[in-house]
C-alpha cells in the first residue's frame, strides 16, 4: 500500500459503527454528574468503568488539577498564538522535565497524530523506503500519505523474519529503511518484540525505527518513559512518540529524538509545528504537574499497583476460561 485510503472503506466502517451505536456500546454521553474515574453514569445507571485509557487514574490527582488551575489563572483559557510565533514558558519547562523523564531530546506536539504528521515528512527522505507493521496505529498510516512517492510496504505483525527479509532487500537500493510500529499495540494489547528489533538495528545499518508508544507511556518504564525507550538501548536511529494524554492524563505528545539538531529541524519545518494551534495553557499546566509527578520516587508504586491488577485480571481470565487475544501484561484486553 502507498498510503491511507479510507474512502473505499467508508460504507463498511459506517455500517459497523452504526450497528455498534444502535447496540448501545459506543457514542454514548455520560450523565451530568461528577466523574471520579472508577465509575461512569449513563442514563441513570452507575457502571464500573473498563473502557478508559487513563491506566493510572492521574486525571483525578490534585497535583494535576492544581497545575491546570494555576496555568489558567496565569495565562488564560488559551494563548492565542501559533507556537512558531510565540509560546508560553510552560513549553520549555515541560520539554525539560520530559527530557529528565526519558533521558532523550524532547519536542512537544499538540497530539501524537500531529507529531507523526510533523515528523515523518522530515525524517523520511525521498530515496528512503518505509515498512509499516500491519497493526500499526491509524495515525501512523495517515501520516504515511504525506510521504509522496516514498514506497510504503505492509509487513506481517511482529514477524521478525519477514521484516529481516524486507530490510535486507530494500537496503540494496534505498538510502534508509524505516520501520513504523507501535510499542504497545492498541487493539490486542501486545508489545512489539523490541529486543529482536534492537538486534536488527545492529545488523542493518540502514534500518531506522519510528515507534508510536502512546499506550505504554506513564504506566511502564522508569519515570514512565514507556516500553520502547526502556527496551531500545541504542536510540541513534530511533524516534519515539509518547502521549501526554491517556495514562499521562493531560494533553499533547512528546517526540523523543536522538539529537537537538533533529528536534530543531522538525520544529522549524514540520507542517503542524507551524500551522497548528498549541497545547493550551491549562493542559500544559496539567502536563507539567504530571511530568513532575513521574519524577517522584513514589511514582513507581503507582505503576506496581497497576501491574499487580493486570496480572490478577489475566489469571482470573484464564481461571474463568475468558479467552483473551493474548496474555501479555498490559492494560489492554481484547476479547474476540
DSSP string, 256-314: EES-HHHHHHHHHH-HHHHHSPPPPHHHHHHHHHHHHHHTSTTHHHHHHHHHHHHHHHH
Cβ neighbours of residue 145 under 8 Å, at least 6 residues apart?
3, 4
- Domain span at residue 234? 62-294
Given this model, what pLDDT does residue 6 score?
Answer: 61
pLDDT reading at 11 higher than 60: yes
200 and 116 assigned to the same domain = yes
What are the pLDDT digits (tens) for 113-162? 999 999 999 999 999 999 999 999 999 999 999 999 999 999 999 999 99
C-alpha distances out from residue 27 to 18, 22, 34, Å: 10, 9, 19
State how far the Cα of 44 lies from the Cα of 47, in Å rounded to an integer. Answer: 9
Long-range contacts of 91-97 (CB under 8 A, 24+ apart): 91/278, 91/279, 91/284, 93/288, 94/284, 94/287, 94/288, 94/291, 95/254, 97/288, 97/291, 97/292, 97/295
Q: Which of the listed residues 278, 294, 310 is the one where a domain comes to its end?
A: 294
Q: Of the candidates 111, 80, 58, which has an alpha carbon nearest to the alpha carbon of residue 249?
A: 58
How far apart CA 294 and CA 100 sit, in angstroms, is 10
Q: Which of 241, 197, 298 is nearest to 102 (CA)?
A: 241
Stretch 29-51: mean pLDDT: 92
Q: Does 327 map to a domain?
A: no
Q: Is the pLDDT of residue 63 over 80?
A: yes
Q: What is the CATH number of the domain that holds 122?
A: 3.40.640.10
Handedness of CA 213, 148, 272, 124 (dihedral sign): positive
Largest CA-CA distance found in the chain, in angstroms, rounded: 62
pLDDT score of 306 more than 80: yes
Query: Both 162 and 31 in a single domain?
Result: no
Same domain, 35 and 147: no
Q: Which of 260, 279, 255 is nearest to 120 (CA)?
A: 255
* Residue 160 covered by a domain: yes
pLDDT in tens, 188-208: 999 999 999 999 999 999 999
Whether 36 and 71 share a structural domain: no
Regarding whether 37 and 182 lie in a shared domain, the answer is no
- Given a contact cutoff of 8 angstroms between Cβ atoms, the answer to whether 266 and 118 are in contact is yes
- Same domain, residue pair 164 and 45: no
C-alpha to C-alpha distance for 231 and 199, rounded to whole angstroms: 11
pLDDT digits (tens, 9 = 90+) for 75-112: 999 999 989 999 999 999 999 999 999 999 999 999 99
Distinct helix (H) and strand (E) counts, the chain? 12, 9
pLDDT, residue 51, reads 85
Same domain, 33 and 79: no
pLDDT of residue 233: 87
Dihedral pair phi/psi, residue 239, rounded to 5°? -125, 135
Q: How confident is the model at residue 257 (pLDDT cuts 50, 70, 90)?
A: very high
Is position 56 within any domain? no
Q: Are residues 125 and 217 in the same domain?
A: yes
What integer best gives the mean pLDDT of the chain?
Answer: 94
Percent of the chain scored above 70 by pLDDT? 98
- pLDDT(29) > 90: yes
Domain assignment of residue 320, yes or no: no
Number of domains composing the chain = 2
The reply to whether 116 and 170 lie within a common domain is yes
Q: Do 270 and 150 sit in the same domain of this protein?
A: yes
- Rounded Cα–Cα distance for residues 57 and 290 (Å): 11
Q: What angle do CA 37, 307, 309 make, to 5 degrees?
A: 60
The verdict on 163 and 262 lying in the same domain is yes
The pLDDT assigned to 1 comes to: 36
Higher-pLDDT residue of 9, 281? 281
Q: Write out pLDDT tens, residues 216-239.
A: 999 999 999 999 999 998 999 999
The whole-number pLDDT of residue 187 equals 87
CB 195 within 8 A of CB 156: no
Q: Do 37 and 170 have their domain in common?
A: no
Other Cβ atoms within 10 Å of 97 Cβ, number: 20
Amino acid at each position: 500500500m502507498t498510503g491511507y485510503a479510507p474512502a473505499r472503506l467508508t460504507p463498511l466502517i459506517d455500517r459497523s459503527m452504526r450497528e455498534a451505536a444502535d447496540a448501545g456500546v459506543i457514542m454514548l454521553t455520560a450523565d451530568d454528574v461528577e466523574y471520579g474515574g472508577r465509575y461512569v453514569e449513563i442514563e441513570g445507571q452507575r457502571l464500573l468503568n473498563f473502557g478508559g485509557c487513563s491506566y493510572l487514574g492521574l486525571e483525578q490527582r490534585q497535583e494535576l488539577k492544581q497545575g491546570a488551575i494555576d496555568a489558567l489563572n496565569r495565562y488564560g483559557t488559551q494563548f492565542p498564538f501559533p507556537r512558531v510565533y510565540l509560546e508560553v514558558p510552560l513549553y520549555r519547562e515541560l520539554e525539560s522535565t520530559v527530557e529528565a523523564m526519558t533521558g532523550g531530546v524532547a519536542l512537544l506536539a499538540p497530539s501524537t497524530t500531529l507529531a507523526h504528521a510533523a515528523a515523518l515528512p522530515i525524517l523520511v527522505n525521498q530515496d528512503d523506503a518505509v515498512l509499516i507493521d500491519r497493526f500499526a496505529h491509524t495515525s501512523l498510516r495517515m501520516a504515511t500519505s504525506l510521504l509522496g512517492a516514498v514506497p510504503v510496504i505492509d509487513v506481517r505483525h511482529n514477524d521478525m523474519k519477514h521484516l529481516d527479509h524486507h530490510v535486507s532487500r530494500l537496503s540494496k537500493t534505498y538510502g534508509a529503511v524505516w520501520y513504523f510500529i507501535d510499542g504497545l499495540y492498541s487493539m490486542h494489547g501486545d508489545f512489539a518484540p523490541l529486543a529482536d528489533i534492537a538486534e536488527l538495528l545492529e545488523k542493518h545499518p540502514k534500518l531506522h525505527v519510528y515507534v508510536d508508544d502512546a499506550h505504554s507511556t506513564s504506566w511502564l518504564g522508569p519515570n514512565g518513559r514507556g516500553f520502547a525507550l526502556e527496551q531500545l538501548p541504542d536510540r541513534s536511529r530511533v524516534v519515539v512518540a509518547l502521549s501526554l494524554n491517556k495514562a499521562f492524563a493531560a494533553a499533547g505528545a512528546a517526540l523523543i529524538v536522538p539529537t537537538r539538531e533533529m528536534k530543531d529541524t522538525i520544529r522549524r519545518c514540520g507542517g503542524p509545528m507551524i500551522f497548528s494551534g498549541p497545547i493550551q495553557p491549562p493542559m500544559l499546566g496539567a502536563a507539567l504537574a504530571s511530568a513532575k509527578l513521574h519524577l517522584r520516587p513514589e511514582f513507581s508504586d503507582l505503576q506496581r499497583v497497576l501491574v499487580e491488577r493486570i496480572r490478577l485480571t489475566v489469571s482470573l481470565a484464564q481461571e474463568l476460561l475468558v479467552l483473551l487475544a493474548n496474555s501479555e501484561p498490559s492494560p489492554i484486553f481484547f476479547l474476540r
